[in-house]
Structure 1
Amino acid sequence: MEVSFNLIAQQLVTGLALGSIYVLIGVGLSLVFGLLTVVNFAHGAFFMVGAYIGVLVYARTGNFWLCMLVVPIASAALGMLAERFLIRPLYGRGIDYPLLLTFGLAYVLMDLVRMGFGVQGEQMETPELLQGAVDIGIGMFPLYRLFLIGVTAFVLLALWLLLEKTRFGLIVRAGARDPLVLRTLGINMSTIWLTIFGAGTAIAGLAGLLAAPMRGVSPEMGVPVLVEAFVITVVGGMGSLGGAVVAGLLVGVVVSFTTLFQPEFADFSMFALMAIMLIVRPNGLFGRKGLMA
């Protein structure tokens, strides 16, 4: 196969668009783990729930932009309920307890969706405004995938500003290092943890909505996503938001180019990348030692 510069450039942009979904998936998981040290095995289920909420709202209103508003809010509310009444009582009992609880919660959410929507799955079409392709200088490229890149960049910028430039972000970063000190200063860490868990599930739900037109919607769609999320967090480093961003884009590009040259190895390529990372850098690109202890 003859490989031109334009083909390589298009495949790179394709990888960045695919990586944008991976970034949102990984950032949501890393946000919760890095600041709460909770391994959220229900992360893929929140991704799936976000997609179904989007399908429901879009079917009723035909307004994709309304979906973009409703899905993160609804996903955050569901996540905050789970944190408040299910996960919070398990803090301080070891990392295994919330892991097992969220594992069970994922199956509960999956079965609830099956009962409410059936097992056949749903299809969500790309919004009319975002259909078609545009010339990006190296050839025509789907507009919706460029939209994915833009939305991901906006979410990351908003998250960075929140965590790095606000008093809330300062409290969050301090609380991740020593919550006991903040409690002695009269700061309610329970509210901080509730908000962070809600933010993580909001990002997961938004990722589900954005992925729905490309991947389709089914009760089981969160299962492979959970695997992908952990690949990204391992490659980037457990709990590292910056690592999740770099790893998500890297995995997207690797899968994209593998699809171009050896499509049968596309899924395998991300696991090969993870295996290499575990051998070369066991803590990931930006991970730190002792986080799982």
Structure 2
Amino acid sequence: MDTLFGVPVAAFIGQLVIGLINGSFYALMSLGLAIIFGLLQIVNFAHGAQYMLGAFVAWGLLEYLGIGYWPALLLAPLIVAAFGLLLERTMLRRLYKSNHVYALLLTFGISLIMEGAFRLKFGATGMPYPNPISGGIDTPAAFLPLYRVWVIAASFTLCMVTWFTIERTKLGSYLRAATENPSLVRTFGINVPRMLMLTYGLGVGLAGLSGVMAAPIYQVSPLMGSHLIIVVFAVVVIGGMGSIIGSVVAGFGLGVLEGLAKLYLPEVAGIVIFVVMIVTLAVKPNGLFGSAH
């Protein structure tokens, strides 16, 4: 049997794909967090609950309205983003000039309320969501399910498009300017509060989109967000708080590292990301791509 680094090639490729799948969700989720923190200075602890909400909206659209995966891939993030806009307009907007801790506590409380409400309605057990793309690619080394390959490619593409939009376009420059110097931006006739609201909606929409993409792979459960959010925060810290490209690189890289650790060092696979976080903070406190403020 062919081996690679001391393990069967099929096992290595299988864990590599699993790592890339997990990394896809780490990258998308941490990207949304980086946008919200980098532009609004809000630590959005409700991000995991908003990810869960995206999965439940997709499941509800199919269960109650018969709307399948592909329309839900567009509708569910918009619904979750609309919820985020309402949250920003009614609560978070009052905290922009306050200490970061207040927004963290508020969003943490919101996440607990959302999770509790969904557990009360649906219970703690997960519900399946049908796979929208059947079949796979049968290579000599391993079988690659098409949907998982699509998730990896779509996540990477979306991350790059988001990075380019914020860092290289006029819209992105307006978003950054609206948070750095709102008084100057107002002189150009730009509605700064609306820009901030849309920024939060964008970050929340990415969490909702992640939830829709995760639904066919993981079971739709009220606990799915709380299981992921701690790891995603670690990814954001490693990449650098507020660094968009850092979130993408750290998300995919740590997903692969975690996947391969399950193959070579299964006893530490569950904590390898946190070990990397500790080492990173000891060597570079602002993260790999972060900058000192």
1:120 aligns with 2:125: yes
Does the 8 Å contact 1:80/1:195 carry over to 2?
Answer: yes
Equivalence for 1:42 = 46
Equivalence for 1:241 = 244
The percent identity for this pair of structures is: 39
Which structure's residues are more often helix, by fraction? 1
Does the 8 Å contact 1:124/1:217 carry over to 2?
Answer: yes
The whole-number CA distance in structure 1 between the counterparts of 2:126 and 2:12 is: 34
- Aligned letter for 1:25? M
After superposition, the CA RMSD in angstroms is: 1.9
Task: Give the total of aligned pairs.
Answer: 288
The whole-number CA distance in structure 1 between the counterparts of 2:239 and 2:126 is: 32
Equivalence for 2:33 = 29
Does the 8 Å contact 2:239/2:247 carry over to 1?
Answer: yes
Structure 1 residue ranges, 4+ long, deviating more than 6 angstroms after superposition = none
**1:50 CA displacement:** 0.7
Deviates more, 1:216-225 or 1:190-199: 216-225
Could you tell me which of 84, 88, 91 is aligned with 2:93? 88
Alignment of 1:132-171 (within 5 A): 132-135=135-138, 138-171=141-174
Could you tell me which of 277, 280, 285 is aligned with 1:282? 285
Does the 8 Å contact 1:34/1:176 carry over to 2?
Answer: no
Equivalence for 2:69 = 64
Equivalence for 2:7 = 3
**1:252 CA displacement:** 0.4
**1:13 CA displacement:** 3.6
Does the 8 Å contact 1:10/1:138 carry over to 2?
Answer: no
Equivalence for 2:106 = 101
Unpaired segments of 5 or more residues in structure 1? none
**1:214 CA displacement:** 2.3
Residue deviations 1:62-102 (CA, integer Å, cap 9, x gap): 51101101111011000110000011012212212211111
Q: What is the TM-score with the length of structure 2 in the denominator?
A: 0.91
Does the 8 Å contact 2:89/2:197 carry over to 1?
Answer: yes
Equivalence for 1:197 = 200
**1:133 CA displacement:** 2.2
Q: What is the TM-score with the length of structure 1 in the denominator?
A: 0.91
1:181 aligns with 2:184: yes
In 2 relative to 1, CA 176–147 (structure 1 residues): closer, same or farther, beyond 3 Å?
same
Equivalence for 1:251 = 254
Does the 8 Å contact 2:127/2:219 carry over to 1?
Answer: yes
Q: SS in structure 1 opposite 2:144?
A: strand
**1:224 CA displacement:** 2.0
- Aligned letter for 1:236? G
- Aligned letter for 1:107? L
Does the 8 Å contact 1:39/1:98 carry over to 2?
Answer: yes
The whole-number CA distance in structure 1 between the counterparts of 2:18 and 2:223 is: 25
